[in-house]
Structure 1
C-alpha cells in the first residue's frame, strides 16, 4: 500500500488523520443482496473491515451513515436502455436489509437511495452539514459503482474524502484498480482499514 498512499508515510510528524467532530463514516450497500463474486477483496473481508470502522466511529461518538438501496416496486429505480445485459440482482428475501455484521445501532443514520450515489434524492448532505462534517470516510460495495459515484458527489459538494481501500471491493479486480489508481487519488486520500484504525 505504501506506493498508493503518496506522501503520508514520510517521517515528519503529522496531525491526526481524523477530527472525530468533523468526520463521518459512509458505508455503501452492505446489504443482503451482495454475492460472493467480488475482487480483489472478498465480501466477507469488506464487511469485516467496514464493521471495524463502524464500531470505531461509534465508540468515538462520530457520525455513522449506513446506505442501502431499497424499493417497494422498482418504479423509482433508474431503468436505462443499454447495449449490454447487466448482472441480475440477488433479490433474496430481505435483500435490502443491512448485513448483520454491521450491527446497526440507534445512533446510525440510515440512507435509502434509489441509484448508485448516496447524495442524490437523500438527506445525506443536509445531515452532514447540520453536524459541521467536512470529511467523509468511504467504504462498501462496489468500488467502481456505489462508492465511486458517492465519492464524486461528495467531492463536488466540497467534502474531504478518505478511502478505506480494503473495506471496499469491485465486481472485478480491474474495476477496483481503476478507481483506486486513477480516480480516488485525484479527489481524496487512500488508507487501509488498519491505518484508519491507527489514525495515520
Structure 2
C-alpha cells in the first residue's frame, strides 16, 4: 500500500537510533548510516512543519536488574553495555523541541509515556523509522495500531539484524498495520499536505 496522507497532527517516531545500535555493522538490508540519514531528513521536514519528533532510546541497568523477566531461548541477561551505548546519535540529537522516550522493552509504548506524550499533542498518526525492523520498529507499530493511531512506516529508513526478518516485517506484517513507503514518498506526501 502506498502512503496516501499525512494527518495534520502526525509525529515522527524514531526507534533506537543510538550509538550502540547504529554502531552494529551487521545490519541489513540498509546500512545503519543510510537509516540515520533518511531519519534525519524526515526529522528535519517534520520540525520544519512544526510536527513533533520523538526519539526513542532503549537502555538497561548495568546489573540487569531491570531486564524483562521470562524464559527465552535467546541469551539476554548478564549482558553489559559500554558507556554511552544508549545515547541518541549526534545527527539526530540536539533539538530541544524533540521528545525523548526511554524504553526498557522492545516496543516504545509499554512502560513509557509515549502514548501520553502523543495524545496530549492530539497526534492521530505516527511515522516510524529505526533499528531493528522486526524488533523495536515492529513492536512499536503493533502497539500504535492497537492504540488506534494511523501508522506509516518508512521502509528504507529502517533495517534489521537479518535481511529476511526485515523483509518479513515489511512485506507481511506492516501492510496489516498501516501504510508503507520510502522516505522520499513520505516527504512528498508531507509537502503536499502542508502546502
Alignment TM-score, normalising by the size of structure 1: 0.87
2-side partners of 1:127 and 1:42: how far apart? 30
Task: Please tell me whether residue 60 in structure 1 is matched to residue 64 in structure 2.
Answer: no
CA RMSD after TM alignment:
2.0
Deviations 1:53-109 (A, max 9, x none): 1111111110110000123333112144322446x9782320110011113310000
Q: What corresponds to 2:6 in structure 1?
A: 18
Structure 2 unaligned spans of 5+: 191-195
Runs of 5+ unmatched residues, structure 1: 9-13
What residue is the counterpart of 1:187 in the other structure? 177
Distance 2:28 2:70 in 1: 26
Which portions of structure 1, spanning 4 or more consecutive aligned residues, are displaced by more than 3 angstroms? none
Which residue of 144, 150, 163 corresponds with 1:154? Answer: 144
Instruction: Please report how far the alpha carbon of residue 132 of structure 1 lies from its aligned counterpart in structure 2 after TM superposition.
Output: 1.0
Number of positions where the alignment pairs a residue of Structure 1 with one of Structure 2: 187
My pick for the range that moved more, 187-196 or 99-108, is: 99-108
Determine the structure 2 residue equivalent to 1:11: none
